[in-house]
Amino acid sequence: MRHSMPDREALVILRPKSGNDWKQIRAICGYIAVGLLVVASIFFLKHRHQEEMERAWSSATAAIEDVRPVLASNVETARGSAMLYQLEILANYSAAGVERKRWIRVENQPELLADAQLKAFRWKGKRCLVRWKTSEPDHVIAELI
């Protein structure tokens, strides 16, 4: 058999009793509000950045014909050294009616050669989005779709 209590008694038990309890509730609500404000600000800034890129940057869809790892840095540790690589893609795209084919470095974290080779294998033959500022047509960035 289950024991139940009337709603009014349950409400009296759950309601904060002292001013200190109310203060803790207000503090928790304040932290939640600040957290929500930070999250909303981040989304707003990302949205503004995306709008800016769409307005001031030109873009085209490109075919990834080849991918190659390029040495980015050599990291020395107590256990030895590790060479880190970034990837460059050979992108074939059309810009202003002209077919272009060029190597573009993908902006990602440098990684070990095995990881870079795995990504290269997965990306080859895929499509990506290339963007460039209309004021700097030679500075092209690639965004994988």
Q: Where are the domains of the chain?
A: 8-54, 58-144
Please provide the CATH number assigned to the domain covering 58-144. Answer: 2.40.50
Q: What is the mean pLDDT of residues 120-138?
A: 86
What does the pLDDT look like over 12-23, one tens digit per residue? 777 777 888 889
Q: Is residue 2 pLDDT above 80, yes or no?
A: no
List pLDDT tens digits, range 73-117.
Answer: 888 877 888 889 999 999 998 887 888 898 998 888 888 989 989
Radius of gyration of the chain (CA): 27
Helical H segments across the chain, by residue range: 7-14, 19-56, 113-123
Tell me the DSSP string of 66-92. EEEEEEEEEEEETTEEEEEEEEEEEEE
Q: Cα separation of 125 and 121, whole Å?
A: 9
Check whether 32 has a pLDDT greater than 90: yes
Contact 49, 82 (CB under 8 A): no
